[in-house]
């Protein structure tokens, strides 16, 4: 190893990044303060100001807005050394709810999440498969109604629905820009139609980015990390100081479509040797089908994700042929993740998505080994591989969280707060 001398602390940088929020545009401030109150349980304005570097005046203003929205209330007081006791703030988890749905061709998961980020209802829905968008949207609308019934919620208690799915997408229009699974899906008014069918605002989000936001909702709010998301395909997300990296049109981070083998098979995207084709469920299942004994032994021939999960479970059960395919996949995914880290410079990589349901720890351990020996800036900082708290729900929870963030980061929050307060 040529490098290996200087290892630096990044804490002063992190503090500076946190402090910089103090000077920032007003709306993200609300999300940051809300997250801190959620994390700490009961906390005073002074503690909040200390923890964020915001001025007392800004904090007072932010807290007033959150109270006007009904999201935060006073939960008690704390004696101080000098005079007036400090009033403690706490979250009202039941103040509002958000719906999140993560879907691709092979899976669909819905959740209802409260303001504390807790899943109050979860629902596995039928996979969209190759069906038309109007059918799927009608089905989603039914499931949303059923989930709200299960949770005992009425529409006014629900902020909206976040759809976490694959790209390319036009987030602003609420449409996909890819003819998958059928040509009808391109430019189909996905968000608008689901809005009309449910009476709730609907936003769309990249599934991997949503998983990143979901991981944050379950943990620290101003951290920086990458997400590698694997369901039917592979995607990724990057969260920096608590905010998703979006690029010019929110269509970046397509880890599944970076070439890991210039002479590899052509991909539908126009590139060759894409990670999706070489290391994702597509590649693993294709290789498994080329081995008829293995395919028969594992009962393959269902949909892509189901077949992949069978190969993954067989690996855990000691099937050597299955294990070999998974080993190739883990190594290739790890090399692509090093690319992601070498380009985005993050210190943490979180794995999420249905494909990691059982086999996640195997991918995580292989990834850690490759990161430790191959990451370019490893002598500036280490890079940690982790599994999301709930790999199968993270993206749906993130979809729900996006709805809340959009409110907190838009001028509408101010109006809503004024109207309520």
Asked whether the beta carbons of 148 and 188 are under 8 A apart, the reply is no
Query: Using CB under 8 A, which residues numbered 377 to 396 contact its own copies?
Result: 377-381
CB of 52 to its own copies, least distance (A): 14
Longest dimension (CA), the chain: 79
Query: Using CB under 8 A, which residues numbered 184 to 203 contact its own copies?
Result: 186-187
CB of 26 to its own copies, least distance (A): 7
Three-class secondary structure of residue 10 per DSSP: coil
Residues 260 and 256: their CA atoms lie apart, in Å, by 10
Residues 305 and 300: their CA atoms lie apart, in Å, by 11
CB of 77 to its own copies, least distance (A): 34
- List of residues 6+ apart from 91 with CB closer than 8 A: 34, 37, 38, 71, 72, 115, 116
Of 126 and 266, which CB lies nearer to its own copies in the complex structure? Answer: 266
Of 323 and 380, which CB lies nearer to its own copies in the complex structure? Answer: 380
- List of residues 6+ apart from 33 with CB closer than 8 A: 48, 52, 54, 59, 62, 63, 66
Of 74 and 172, which CB lies nearer to its own copies in the complex structure? Answer: 172
Residues 248 and 346: their CA atoms lie apart, in Å, by 20
Residues 235 and 162: their CA atoms lie apart, in Å, by 18
**How many other CB atoms are found less than 10 A from the CB of residue 127?**
20
Of 236 and 393, which CB lies nearer to its own copies in the complex structure? Answer: 236
Residues 389 and 9: their CA atoms lie apart, in Å, by 27
Asked whether the beta carbons of 108 and 101 are under 8 A apart, the reply is yes
**Using rule CB under 8 A, residue 178 touches its own copies:** yes
Smallest CA-to-CA distance from 309 within 335, 284, 334 is with 284
Task: Tell me the window of 69-77, 127-135, 142-150, 328-336 that interacts with its own copies (CB under 8 A).
Answer: 328-336
**Using rule CB under 8 A, residue 219 touches its own copies:** no
Of 91 and 215, which CB lies nearer to its own copies in the complex structure? Answer: 215
H helices of 319-393, in order, are 320-344, 360-374
Q: Contact letters (x/-) for its own copies, 225-244, by CB under 8 A?
A: -----------x---x----
Query: Using CB under 8 A, which residues numbered 4 to 63 contact its own copies?
Result: 5-6, 8, 10, 12-13, 20, 23-26
Residues 151 and 154: their CA atoms lie apart, in Å, by 9
Query: Using CB under 8 A, which residues numbered 242 to 301 contact its own copies?
Result: 245-255, 257-262, 268-272
Task: Tell me the window of 80-88, 181-189, 193-201, 302-310 that interacts with its own copies (CB under 8 A).
Answer: 181-189
Side by side, the strands of the sheet bearing 348-352 are 243-244, 234-240, 225-230, 348-352, 384-387
CB of 104 to its own copies, least distance (A): 16
Among 70, 120, 323, 344, binds its own copies (CB under 8 A): 344
Of 103 and 245, which CB lies nearer to its own copies in the complex structure? Answer: 245
Residues 387 and 368: their CA atoms lie apart, in Å, by 11
CB of 175 to its own copies, least distance (A): 7
Query: Using CB under 8 A, which residues numbered 152 to 171 contact its own copies?
Result: 167-168, 170
Residues 278 and 296: their CA atoms lie apart, in Å, by 22
CB of 170 to its own copies, least distance (A): 6
Task: Tell me the window of 82-90, 189-197, 337-345, 389-397 that interacts with its own copies (CB under 8 A).
Answer: 337-345
Q: How many residues bind its own copies (CB under 8 A)?
A: 72
User: Residue holding tokens 């005992």?
Assistant: 152
Of 38 and 332, which CB lies nearer to its own copies in the complex structure? Answer: 332
Among 55, 342, 415, 418, binds its own copies (CB under 8 A): 342
- List of residues 6+ apart from 179 with CB closer than 8 A: 185, 186
Of 173 and 323, which CB lies nearer to its own copies in the complex structure? Answer: 173
Of 90 and 168, which CB lies nearer to its own copies in the complex structure? Answer: 168
Of 99 and 238, which CB lies nearer to its own copies in the complex structure? Answer: 238
Q: Please give the distance of CA 121 from its chain centroid, rounded to a whole number.
A: 18
**How many other CB atoms are found less than 10 A from the CB of residue 51?**
17
| Beta-bridge mates of residue 243 | 240
- For residue 124 the two structure tokens come to 């596995």
CB of 381 to its own copies, least distance (A): 6
CB of 98 to its own copies, least distance (A): 23
Of 51 and 377, which CB lies nearer to its own copies in the complex structure? Answer: 377
| Beta-bridge mates of residue 387 | 351
Among 343, 361, 418, 420, binds its own copies (CB under 8 A): 343
**Using rule CB under 8 A, residue 92 touches its own copies:** no
Among 49, 101, 190, 375, binds its own copies (CB under 8 A): 375
């Amino acid at each position: 190893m040529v490098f290996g001398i200087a290892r630096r602390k990044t804490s002063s940088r992190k503090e500076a990044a946190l402090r910089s929020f103090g000077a920032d545009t007003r709306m993200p401030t609300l999300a940051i303060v809300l997250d801190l109150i959620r994390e700490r349980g009961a906390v005073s304005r002074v503690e909040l100001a200390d923890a964020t570097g915001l001025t007392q005046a800004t904090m007072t203003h932010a807290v007033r807005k959150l109270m006007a929205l009904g999201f935060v209330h006073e939960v008690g007081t704390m004696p101080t050394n000098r005079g007036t006791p400090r009033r403690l703030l706490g979250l009202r988890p039941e103040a509002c709810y958000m719906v999140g749905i993560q879907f691709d061709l092979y899976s669909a998961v819905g959740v209802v999440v409260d303001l504390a980020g807790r899943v109050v209802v979860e629902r596995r829905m039928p996979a969209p498969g190759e069906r038309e968008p109007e059918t799927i949207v009608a089905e989603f609308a039914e499931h949303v109604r059923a989930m709200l019934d299960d949770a005992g919620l009425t529409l006014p208690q629900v902020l909206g629905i976040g759809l976490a799915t694959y790209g390319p997408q036009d987030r602003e229009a609420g449409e996909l820009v890819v003819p998958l699974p059928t040509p009808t899906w391109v430019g189909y008014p996905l968000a608008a139609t689901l809005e009309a069918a449910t009476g709730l605002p609907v936003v769309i989000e990249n599934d991997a980015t949503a998983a990143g936001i979901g991981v944050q909702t379950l943990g620290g709010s101003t951290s920086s990390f990458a997400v590698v998301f694997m369901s039917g395909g592979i995607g990724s997300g990057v969260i920096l100081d608590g905010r998703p990296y979006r690029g010019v049109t929110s269509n970046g981070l397509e880890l599944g479509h970076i070439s890991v083998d210039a002479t590899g098979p052509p991909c539908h995207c126009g590139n060759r040797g894409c990670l999706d084709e070489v290391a994702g469920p597509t590649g693993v299942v294709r290789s498994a089908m080329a081995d008829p004994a293995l395919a028969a032994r594992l009962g393959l021939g269902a949909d892509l994700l189901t077949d992949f999960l069978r190969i993954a479970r067989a690996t855990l059960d000691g099937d050597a042929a299955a294990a070999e395919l998974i080993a190739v996949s883990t190594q290739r995914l790890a090399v692509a993740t090093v690319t992601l880290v070498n380009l985005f410079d993050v210190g943490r990589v979180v794995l999420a998505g249905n494909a990691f349901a059982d086999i996640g720890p195997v991918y995580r351990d292989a990834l850690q080994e490759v990161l430790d020996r191959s990451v370019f800036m490893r002598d500036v900082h280490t890079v940690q591989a982790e599994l999301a708290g709930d790999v199968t729900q993270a993206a749906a929870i993130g979809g729900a969280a996006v709805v809340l963030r959009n409110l907190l980061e838009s001028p509408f929050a101010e109006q809503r707060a004024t109207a309520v307060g």
